Amino acid sequence: MSALGALAMTLLLVVPAGAGLGLLRPADYRRGARLSIAATLVSLLAAVTLIWARPETNLYLQVDDFNIYLIVLNNFVSFTTSLFSATYIAHELETGKLTPNYLRFYHAMYQALVFAMNLGLLANNIGLLWVAVELATLVTVLMVGLYRTPAALEAAWKYFILGSLGIALALFGTILIYLAAQPVMGQGLPAMAWDRLLVHASKFDPALLNLAFVFLLLGYGTKAGLVPLHAWLPDAHAEGPTPISAVLSGLLLNVALYAVLRFKMLMSANPSALAPGPLMIMLGLLSLLFAGLMLYRRGDIKRLFAYSSIEHMGIMSFAFGMGGPLANFAGLLHMTMHSLTKSAIFFAVGHISQVKGTQRISTIRGLTATHPLLGWGLVAGVVAIAGMPPFGVFMSEFLVVSSTFARQPWLALPLVIGLLLAFGTLLWRLHGLAFGVPDNAPAVPIKASIWPMLIHLGLVLLAGIWLPGPLVVWFHHVAVLLG
């Protein structure tokens, strides 16, 4: 079984890397979409194989109880997004927004992004993790500026500058972790391996660990979209291709938060080190409240849901900062539900902006009358992400709030205020978008791929009603590991 697991782990890296290189060659751009779908499907099958066929851990890569589910989630959403991309990007070609060369470049960079995220989740080396997140940053910068408009190029530069700042902070924190490990574990690669660092973390210099975690939280927190280093995220969502918005919100933010949680485990293993929880709670609440207020001022539909992503990353940071089995369980569940729901929303929003020819909320009205399937899909997505039953986001938010009331009641007040702010804004915006009086302008006919949206929303609805036993056991086990 370990040989099968090693093959699956290799495929998770080789397939997207090979597909990305192959898509850069001049070829029929339509075949590029099919190749991208095939590559992500193979990656998904390889990820599922790892559930029962675990490869042996080495100094560079590992599959453990913490990352296995995130690897499956990452490749599942990558696959469904590639299905959505096929029709979305083809329409951009038909309308002249992109050329065939840019289409090939898009599909190649998409596979490079899948490779970088898989590498980050599989990494057993803190330096390799940093390289993977840096690669993901550079690739997404190129994809955000794909349309080559002044606004898109400005958004790409902002992302590059702030992303580089965050990566630089994370690199300094990574170096400090290595310096803390070196006196105990010696020089070389073993002092950078997660599995070995965790075993010896209790002997590390707590002062170095404390300083390192501050830099790592700010560095990877930038990539996770946490306030105050979030400014790149709304522009990147608004100006880049919508499939990239789905991947950014649904996956890449998770990879950055995953890195923070790995380092949090190191901190928790050292009884003399700073408790990481209060810092994560503070950034989480700040992100939640700030995003809730900013939602009221958004006039662009993609910016609206970009700030919603900041809000939900704040909820996750808060939950993991609270710690304990219940809060960590809620954080893991929320991470999953947000990935599925937010990507489904962007699937709907992408096609809505194409049929309406705009992203301005004020000019998009009455979608349930003009485009019933897209309109009701958006309704279901917004109702889910706002935290209403019977969807899975309601369950995760309920667990976060109830665990907070049980342990730190005074923190529940700002948490609930932030949730209510976002809830009110999203439902207010949804009313006009879905049920307002539609204008008389003719809609642009498109061939929309709605199955990814329906599959995601179906899974989120199912999770709100029933969670499979093995999944609950996994969440509970990892929640205990996170401390």
Which phi and psi angles does 439 have, rounded to 5°? -80, 175
Q: Determine the distance from the C-alpha atom of residue 60 to the mean position of all C-alpha atoms in its chain, rounded to a whole number.
A: 23
Q: Is 23 within the bounds of a domain?
A: no
Cβ-contact 5, 53 below 8 angstroms? yes
Instruction: Name which of 349-363, 369-383, 426-440 the model is least confident about.
Output: 426-440
Quick one: pLDDT band at residue 115, thresholds 50, 70, 90? very high
Q: Is 186 within the bounds of a domain?
A: no
Cα(219)–Cα(126) distance, rounded to whole angstroms? 14
Give the structural domain span for 338: 276-483
How much is the average pLDDT of 343-367? Answer: 87
Dmax (CA) of the chain: 72
Cα(85)–Cα(92) distance, rounded to whole angstroms? 10
How much is the average pLDDT of 148-159? Answer: 87
79 or 440, which is more confident?
Answer: 79
Q: Give the model's pLDDT for residue 440.
A: 62
- pLDDT at residue 26 greater than cutoff 70: no
Q: Is 458 within the bounds of a domain?
A: yes
Return the bridge partners of 125, or none.
193
Cα(353)–Cα(200) distance, rounded to whole angstroms? 52
How much is the average pLDDT of 410-426? Answer: 91
Cβ-contact 83, 73 below 8 angstroms? no
Q: Is 96 within the bounds of a domain?
A: no
Question: What DSSP line would sit under 202-232, residue for residue?
Answer: GGS-HHHHHHHHHHHHHHHHHHTT-TTS-TH
Q: Is 255 within the bounds of a domain?
A: no
Cα(173)–Cα(452) distance, rounded to whole angstroms? 38
Number of domains composing the chain? 1
In whole numbers, what is the pLDDT of the chain averaged over residues?
88
Cα(265)–Cα(280) distance, rounded to whole angstroms? 13
Joined tokens for residue 481: 């590991």
Cβ-contact 391, 460 below 8 angstroms? yes
How much is the average pLDDT of 103-127? Answer: 91
Q: Give the model's pLDDT for residue 105.
A: 85
Joined tokens for residue 42: 């193979």
Q: Is 156 within the bounds of a domain?
A: no
Three-state DSSP class for residue 443: coil
Cβ-contact 284, 226 below 8 angstroms? yes
Give per-residue pLDDT as tens, 438-468: 766 555 666 667 889 999 999 999 999 998 8
Which phi and psi angles does 467 have, rounded to 5°? -110, 130
Cβ-contact 322, 277 below 8 angstroms? yes
pTM above 0.95, yes or no: no
Cα(88)–Cα(447) distance, rounded to whole angstroms? 8
Name the percent of the chain lying above pLDDT 70.
96
Give per-residue pLDDT as tens, 294-311: 888 778 888 889 999 999
Cβ-contact 244, 98 below 8 angstroms? no
DSSP annotation of 125 reads B
Task: Tell me which H or E stretch contains 75.
Answer: helix 67-94
Cα(319)–Cα(285) distance, rounded to whole angstroms? 10
How much is the average pLDDT of 330-355? Answer: 91
- pLDDT at residue 356 greater than cutoff 90: no
Give per-residue pLDDT as tens, 342-353: 999 999 998 888
How much is the average pLDDT of 146-158? Answer: 86
Cβ-contact 478, 64 below 8 angstroms? no
Which residue is it, tokens 């080495």? 58
Q: Give the model's pLDDT for residue 442.
A: 58
Cα(78)–Cα(340) distance, rounded to whole angstroms? 11
Cα(434)–Cα(346) distance, rounded to whole angstroms? 15
Q: Give the model's pLDDT for residue 273.
A: 83
Return the amino acid letter for 201. Answer: A
How much is the average pLDDT of 35-64? Answer: 90
Q: Is 303 within the bounds of a domain?
A: yes
Joined tokens for residue 99: 């050329």
Q: Give the model's pLDDT for residue 445.
A: 61
Q: Give the model's pLDDT for residue 195.
A: 87
Q: Is 377 within the bounds of a domain?
A: yes
Q: Give the model's pLDDT for residue 250.
A: 83
Give per-residue pLDDT as tens, 223-264: 888 888 888 888 888 888 888 888 888 888 899 999 999 999
Cα(423)–Cα(434) distance, rounded to whole angstroms? 16
